[in-house]
Every structure is written in C-alpha cells, then in structure tokens.
Amino acid sequence: MRLRSLEIAQFRKFDRPTRLDGFTDGLNMLCGPNEFGKSTILAAIRALMFERHASRATAIKSMQPWRGNAAPELAMEFDIDGAPWRIEKRFISQPMARLTGPDGARFDNEAAEEALQRLLGFGAAGKQGASTDTMGVWGALWVTQRDSVDQPDVSQGLARSTITGCLDTEVGVLTGQEAGHAIIAKVREQRSQLLDGNSKPRGRLRDAVRELAACEADLDSLRLRASRLAEDSEALRRDEAKLALERDPEAEARDHAALNAARAAREAALVHAASQKTASLAVEQAQAAVQDAEAARSRRLTLGRARAQAEAALHTAAGAVALAQGELETVREHYAAQAARLEAAETALENTRRARQAASLLAEAARRAAPLPGLREALAEAEAAQARLTTLDARLAGIAATAETLAPARRHAQALALVQARQQAQATRLHFALAPGAGAQITLNGAPAAPDGVHLVTRETTIGLGTLGALTITPGLGEGPALDRALEEARDALAAALRATGCASLAAAEAALAEREALQRARDDAATALLRAAPGDRARKLASGAAALRAHVAALEAQAQEDAARLGALPETADAEAAASAAEAASSVAEQDLQAARAQRDAAAAVFHAAQQRAQAGIAAQAGAAADATRLAAEAEREFAREDDAALAQRLVLAQARAAAAQQELSAIDAQRPAESADMLAARVQRYEQALRQRQDNIRRLQESLAGLRARITLEGGAGLGEQIASEERRQEALATERAGLEQEAAILTLLLETLLAAERETKERYRAPVIRRVAPHLQRLFPGAAIECTDELRISNVTREAGEEDFARLSIGTQEQIAVLTRLAFADMLRDQGKPAMVILDDALAYADAERLERMFDIMAHAAAKVQILVLTCREDLFRRLGAARLELRAAGG
C-alpha cells in the first residue's frame, strides 16, 4: 500500500480545505513545529480509514473544527499493488462514504466501508469508535506519538489472525490453532476438576481418597469390634463352665469336712507339744545341776595344779637372778677399760692435729720467703739502669737539634748556595795581574788588592789607582740587584732555621744531631735493662719498673721478718714441707686408732646393756611368780572354806540321779508324739480356709465378668457387625475402584495436556522464526553483534549484546523505542511479502535517539523503504534533514 494524497477539510484545526501530496514510494517526511498539525494528519488518516462515516461516537464529535460546527470531510488516494484507490468520507452532518476502485468501480456508504475493510484487512468500528481491536494490524503500523515506545501488539484479535495468517503462509503450516487452543482449555478445565495447580488431588478425587481412608478406618474398627465380639463369646462359654465347676455342692461339702478334720488334729498336736515342752525344761534343769557340781570339782583340781606350778616357777626365777647379777659385774668392768682407752686415743689425735697445723704454717712461711734473694739482685740491676736512664735523659734535653729542626736549615743552606752560585756566574770577573809591589798603590774598594787573582764585580767597585786616581767599575743593572736581594733573604732564612737548632752553623747543627742520636741509642739500652730487671707481674698486680719492684721486695721482707718473729727461724722450704707431711701422716694414724677404740667401747656397752636387761627381767619374773603363788594360795583357802571335798562329792551324786529321772519322763512323752506336727496342720487349716474363700471370690468374679460379657455381647451382637463389615467392604471396593478410575482419568488428562502443550510450544518456536529473521538484520545494524529473543506473542523479550542478555523492559527508553520501530518495519515487511497491504507511519518517533543511533536508524529506514512506504511526521526538521526523505508540504486545496 502506498499513500498518494490526503485532503482534509473541517477537521479539527484544519477548518479550510488542505491537501497533502507529493508522496514517493519510499521515505516521506512532513516537518513542522509543535501545534503545526502533524498528529492531526495521522488522526485524519486513521479516522478516514477506520471510523464509520455514520458513527456517533465521541471520537467522531472530537473531529469537528475548533471553530464552528461544520462536518469534517476527508479524502485519500492510495495504491494497492500499483492500482489507484480513492476513499472519501464526510462525518456528522449528511455523513457519507465512497470508495472508488482502480477499475472505476464505486462503493457508497456501508458498501464502501465493507469494501475498504476487506481491502485492507481491518474490522468495523464499534459504537465507541475504532479501537485497537477493529484496526487490526494497522494499529501496530500507524503509531501515534504516545505509543511509539511500545512494541506493536499483535497478540490478539484481528491483528493476531492477520499476522498468524502471514506466519502460517510463511512457515507452511495451515492449521486450526483456535481448535487446538479450545481443546487445551477443555483438557485443562477437565483436569482441574481432579488436580489442583500443584497436581494434588482435588474435587471428587480428593473426596474419594479421603472417603476411602475413612472407610478403611471404619472397616478396621469394625473388624476389631467383630474380633472382640468373637473373643467375648468364647470367654462367655469358658466362664460359664468355670462357674458351674465352682458352684458344685458336693465339692464344697468335701472341702468343709477336710477343714474340720484338719482343725481337730491341729488342737491335739498343740496339747502334746505343751507337755513335751514342760518335760524338756525339767531335764534341762537337772542336767544344769549336775554340770554345776562337776564344774566345781574340776575347778578344784585345776587350782591345785596351778599352785604347784607357781611354786616351781618362783624357785627357777630366783636362780636366774643370781646368775645374771654376777655376769653383769664382769661386763661392767670390761666396759670401763674400753672407755678409758677411747679417751686416750682422743687426746693423741688432738695432739697430732696441732703438730700438723704448726708444720703447715711453717711450710707456708718458708714458701713465701723463698723468692726474696733473687728479687734483691733484680732490684739492684733495676736501680742501676734507672740511674743511667736519668743521666741520658738530662743530656738529651740539652740538645735542641733534631732531625725535624735540622731539615729546614739544610734546605735553606742549599737555596743560599744556589743564589750565590748564580751571582758568581753573572758577575764581571776582574783579573788582577799586578806588577809586584804595585799592590800598595792599587786598592780595591779601599783595600789593597791582591796582586793576582780574580775578583768578581757584582756592585760598583772602586779600584784605587793610587795617585793615579781611581777606577770605578759599575756593573750593568741586569739581575744584580735581584740576586742581591735573594741572597739577603736566603741568608736570613738560614739564620732563622739555625736558631731553632740552637747552633751557629749548619756544621755545628749536624754535629749536635749526631750526638743526640748516639745518646738516644744509649738510653734505649738502659730502658731495656730496666725492663728486664723489673718486668712487673700482672698476675700479682705488680707494675714494672724499679719503684714497684722495690716496694714488693720491701713487703716480702716485712712478711719474712714477721714470720720469723712468730715462728722462729724459718727453715728451708723442702724441710718444712717434709715436716708437714710427717705431721699429716701421724694425724691420720691417730684417727684410725681413735675409731678402733670407739668401736670396741661401743661393743662393750652393748654387752653391758644386754646383761643389765637380763638381770632386770629375771628380777621381774621372780616377783611375778611370787605373786601368783600368793594369789593361788588365797583362792584355795576360799574354796575349801565354802564347801569341802566330801560335800561336793555328795552334791554331784544327788544331781545325777535327778537328771536320769527327768530324762526318763521326757522319753515317755516323746513316745506319744502325733504323726503330723502342729505347724504343718495349722498350715493345712489355713490352706483349706483360703481355698474356700477363693472359691467364693471366684464365683463372685465370674458372675461379674459374665454380666459384663453378656451386656457387651447383647450390645454388639445386635449391631450386625458382620453385615456392617460386608457393607463397608463393598463401599471400600467401590471407592477404591472410583479412586483408581479418577486417578487414571487424571493421568490421561495430564499426559494429554503435557503432550498438547509440548506440541504447541514447538509450533510456536517455528512461528517466532520469521519475526526474528526480519528484525535481526535491522538490529544488527543498530547494535552490531546483537541477538534477540521473541515471546509467543511475538514481542521482543530479550536482547543479547556483548555485555550479556538484557530484558527488554530494562533497556533505555531510547533503545526500547528504536527496537519498537524496527519491529514495526519487520511486520510491515512480512505483510508485504505475503501480499497484504502495509505501510508505516511514525509520528514524532525516535525522539530519544542520540545522533549516532539516529544515523543508523535513518539507514535502516531507508533500507526498509525500498519495499515499504514510510511516512515520518516530525517537529525536528534540523535532525531529520539527513533522513533523505521526500519533503511533503501542506497546501491549501481546491481554491
């Protein structure tokens, strides 16, 4: 589709007929500032196309010009596949519509509306005017200023079927999508009756599961009750039998008779036991009397034996004491002798110790005095060397010349000689060769001149010629005066240097130096001798030199004198050492003697103590034996005083006779003992009584139990448990069958739904391809290297650039708008490829694009315009100049 011209009259701001034409097949542009009417142009095109001429919608009313109440009139010429069409409409007042075809065919009013709808593929506008639904795909291609950022919406209605139709043709799938979606909805709905969103049972399935569980629980409880009922019935039969047994009257009579017999036997046994006990007691008493008498007799015998033993013991003890005391005496003497020996040994040891100490002191003093003679000789040598040293130092101090002071004198003397030599070399030589005797007349500078010889003239020299006058020679100026000065200075310097040496001449100075050096050597010798004689001793803190040595010798001599005063004359060292060693040995021998003596004394002491103890023990034993004998004698006296031997014998005989009689009576009673003991019979009586009580208890308990059982059985037996179980089992089976059926149904529906959705998804994948294929190249121009993803609704959802994947909604507004424009161009392209009319109108689009993007968008639009006509409405004339579009102008029409 290509627009060719547009005529507008009485439409909003265009109250006068206005015409827009000059459209080219590709890019077209209408520029104008805000309020210029660009959006009104788009509104006019949309109204002309999509609004019904007879419509009363508010949208139509708003078309009327701002001034007046006139009827809007619109007309447009366009080509479809190169053939020209014209549509005209008048709204509100005397509304009309007319469509003129390329072959001259004319459609009026409703027919025109319907023909246009068929031609361009949109729907009839509703009562509220044209809407996105009725405009179909055009709503996506002709974009108002407001919507330019949004992607075209082709997800529903007419737009969807138009695009889907294109895709079907392109992808080669002709199919009833709608039927498929209806089936999916149906399956989903049926499945949702059984399973919820998480595939958990719901509705009847959930109820069946719950009812089945409840039914099984009921069944369990019924079965439990039935088994209890069976148990109760069994228990009833058992207990009734037991009760009959317990109530048997014959058995009860038998039990009572046995009890009475047992009680009588028990009484008889008790009487017998009492008499038997009395007789036993009598026997015991009689036997006690016998035992008492026998005990007295035996005690008396024992006492006699003890007295004899005590006397014997006393005798033995006395002998032992006498023996021990003799022995003690002997031992005590021996001990005294040993003690005396020990004392002597101790004294001897003390003496040897003192002698050893004295010898030791003497040896020490001798050792100290030993070096004294040598030291005295060394001291004499040292003092001689010291005296020499002192003399030489004095002489050395008198000589000023040294090697240091002499060196400048030598240097200055050399310099003087050099000056003199130069002066002589330059001086005029005056050779005298006088006649003998002439000398008296001839003078040189007033002094007689030597008859021959050479005189050097260095300054004005007057030669007196006697009477003849005088001859004055004045040397030329030259170096003469300078040399004179140098000579003067050299002499002064030499003199000054010689003063430091204390000598008048250099020769004297040299001689003084030689003497000095000889003296120095002698001094060194003396110092060496001194050091050799008194080298000092660091270990003894003795300094070198004569003075220190002298003090040392004096100290040693003082010590030696003191030692001599204390110890007498000091012996030779060796003698003193020998004496000390001898004293040591003697002391050691004395020590050994002492130890031996001590050991012997200790041994004697031990022997003495032992003997002493033996003697004391003997004395104690003797005393004890004496006490025993006395005590036993007293005891015997008391015994006989109480009862003499004859009385005791009589008492014993009497008691034995009584015991024999009592024993006889007890034997007679024992012979009458009953067969069973009283204890055993008492236990039996108790047992029989217990058994009778238990029988009564059993009867009562059985009666109670039976009453309970009968009540329960009556209650449960009438409940028809077996029938209830059968009925519940039937219900359980029915529910299980129902549940299995419903689960099967759910499984079938789930599988079907999954399969359908998977198939649908695959189909959609194939649908997206053409859209992506068309958008992608444009996008590559805009963002080199970018890729896109497209939703099932054919919206761009993701853009992948170098930075990574980006959600469309998170892209910048500018980028979103650019992609939206690209998508529109792609849809238009696709429609055109499928032979459907398409063109794109962009109203103030790309407002957010930067200069670079704008350039690229221009490229893309220019490329797209080779196939699809594009109309750009913009207020940014300067920016859009580079688009290279044909410029359209609004012109007054008709007139």
Partner 1 sequence: MRIVHSSDWHIGKAFRFADEAAQALREERLDAISRLGALALREGAADILVAGDVFDVETPSDRTLRQPLERMRDFPAISWHLIPGNHDSHTPRGPWARLLALPDGLPANIHLHLAPEPAPLACGAWLLPGVLTRRHDAADPSAVMNSMATPQGAVRIGLTHGPVTEFGTTAGGTPNLIAITRPASANLAYLALGDWHGAQPIGDRIWYSGTPEPDDFGSGAGDADAAGGEALVVALNGSAPPRVSRHRVGRFTWHKRTAFLDGDDAVTALEAKLRGLTGGPLGDALLWLKVEGALSLAARQRFETLIAGGLGSAFRVLRLECAALQAEPTTADMEAIDHAGFLRAAAERLKARAATEPLAAQALQRLFILHGAAR
Q: Rule CB under 8 A: which residues touch partner 1? A: 173-177, 179-180, 182-183, 186-187, 226, 229, 233, 236-237, 713, 717-727, 729-730, 733-734, 744, 747-749, 751-752, 755-756, 758-760, 762-763
The long-range contacts involving 182-187, CB below 8 angstroms and separated by at least 24 positions, are 183/756, 184/753, 184/756, 184/757, 184/760, 187/749, 187/752, 187/753, 187/756
How far is residue 719 from each of residues 35, 714, 727, measured CA to CA in Å?
95, 9, 13
CB nearer to partner 1: pick between 722 and 835: 722
Nearest approach, Cβ of 748 to partner 1 (angstroms)?
A: 5
Please provide the DSSP assignment of 582-641 as one string: HHHHHHHHHHHHHHHHHHHHHHHHHHHHHHHHHHHHHHHHHHHHHHHHHHHHHHHHHHHH
Nearest approach, Cβ of 183 to partner 1 (angstroms)?
A: 5
How far is residue 867 from each of residues 392, 420, 450, 769, 836, measured CA to CA in Å?
137, 129, 150, 20, 13
CA R_g for the chain? 83
Please provide the DSSP assignment of 126-155 as one string: BTTB--HHHHTTHHHHEE-GGGTTSPP--S
Nearest approach, Cβ of 729 to partner 1 (angstroms)?
A: 6
Nearest approach, Cβ of 745 to partner 1 (angstroms)?
A: 9
Nearest approach, Cβ of 245 to partner 1 (angstroms)?
A: 18
CB nearer to partner 1: pick between 574 and 759: 759
Nearest approach, Cβ of 757 to partner 1 (angstroms)?
A: 9
CB nearer to partner 1: pick between 254 and 730: 730
How far is residue 123 from each of residues 27, 115, 661, measured CA to CA in Å?
28, 11, 154
Nearest approach, Cβ of 715 to partner 1 (angstroms)?
A: 11
CB nearer to partner 1: pick between 192 and 727: 727
CB nearer to partner 1: pick between 255 and 738: 738
Nearest approach, Cβ of 24 to partner 1 (angstroms)?
A: 42
CB nearer to partner 1: pick between 187 and 580: 187
d(Cα 524, Cα 530) in Å, to the nearest integer?
10
Q: Which of 51, 106, 58, 108 is nearest to 74 (CA)?
A: 51
Nearest approach, Cβ of 754 to partner 1 (angstroms)?
A: 9
d(Cα 259, Cα 347) in Å, to the nearest integer?
114
Angle (nearest 5°) at CA 438 between 436 and 440: 120
Nearest approach, Cβ of 727 to partner 1 (angstroms)?
A: 5
Nearest approach, Cβ of 137 to partner 1 (angstroms)?
A: 22
d(Cα 194, Cα 736) in Å, to the nearest integer?
16
- Reduced to 3 states (helix: H, G, I; strand: E, B; else coil), residue 845 is coil
Q: Which of 768, 874, 783 is nearest to 822 (CA)?
A: 783
The single residue listed with the structure tokens 């012109």 is 891
The single residue listed with the structure tokens 């200790």 is 602
Return the H-helix or E-strand segment holding 874: strand 870-874
d(Cα 244, Cα 255) in Å, to the nearest integer?
16
CB nearer to partner 1: pick between 723 and 850: 723
Nearest approach, Cβ of 181 to partner 1 (angstroms)?
A: 10
Distance of CA 107 to the CA centre of its chain: 90
Nearest approach, Cβ of 186 to partner 1 (angstroms)?
A: 6
Angle (nearest 5°) at CA 315 between 313 and 316: 65
CB nearer to partner 1: pick between 220 and 393: 220
d(Cα 79, Cα 85) in Å, to the nearest integer?
6
Helix axes 573-642, 249-369, angle to 10 degrees: 150
Q: Measured in Å, how far apart are the chain's first and last C-alpha atoms? A: 29
How far is residue 322 from each of residues 330, 609, 614, 866, measured CA to CA in Å?
13, 17, 11, 166
Nearest approach, Cβ of 846 to partner 1 (angstroms)?
A: 39
How far is residue 260 from each of residues 168, 227, 571, 878, measured CA to CA in Å?
119, 48, 138, 143
Q: What is the DSSP letter of 876?
A: -
CB nearer to partner 1: pick between 360 and 724: 724
Nearest approach, Cβ of 880 to partner 1 (angstroms)?
A: 45
> Where would I find the H helices in 370-402?
372-397
Nearest approach, Cβ of 72 to partner 1 (angstroms)?
A: 46
Residues 6+ apart with CB under 8 A from 379: 533, 534, 546, 549, 550, 553
Nearest approach, Cβ of 711 to partner 1 (angstroms)?
A: 12
CB nearer to partner 1: pick between 161 and 780: 161
CB nearer to partner 1: pick between 665 and 745: 745
Joined tokens for residue 624: 């004890």
CB nearer to partner 1: pick between 749 and 871: 749
Cβ contact 687:258 at 8 Å: no
d(Cα 132, Cα 153) in Å, to the nearest integer?
9
Q: Which amino acid is at 587?
A: S
d(Cα 219, Cα 235) in Å, to the nearest integer?
24
Nearest approach, Cβ of 218 to partner 1 (angstroms)?
A: 14
Cβ contact 487:413 at 8 Å: no
CB nearer to partner 1: pick between 205 and 586: 205
Q: Which of 848, 841, 876, 872 is nearest to 143 (CA)?
A: 841
CB nearer to partner 1: pick between 669 and 713: 713
Joined tokens for residue 726: 């059968």
CB nearer to partner 1: pick between 237 and 499: 237
